[in-house]
Amino acid sequence: MIITKKDVGIIMQEIYDSEIGIRIGWKAGGGMDYSISETSNDIWDNHDNTAEIIHTGETDIVKGLQILVLDILKQYPQSNFAVWLKEFYENDNGNVHPLFKKIVSPFKK
């Protein structure tokens, strides 16, 4: 899957609209971190944080978002977001990028 800078806002909005719980952060010089969880308590409560924090090391938001998106697709392959993303990256011939196709093959029409 190839995410471009112009796709970042669109993809972030679709993740939000799909009600997938994520938390994203950056460290100066350390790159993007994120957590994915079923509930907001798992990612926001400092005392009971049960969500794994993924340290991507990516300082490029596009590359960091690509890692996050692939992780969301692995954890929530039946989500509205996964279905939307397949359609977003599908071309006129019904083909999708090979990395994306491997993950979302259950969504073939």
DSSP class per residue in 78-96:
TSHHHHHHHHHH--TTS--
**Where in the chain are the domains?**
5-104
Distance of alpha carbon 93 from alpha carbon 16, whole angstroms: 29
pTM: 0.73
Per-residue pLDDT of 41-75, as tens digits, reads 555 555 555 667 888 889 988 889 988 998 998 88
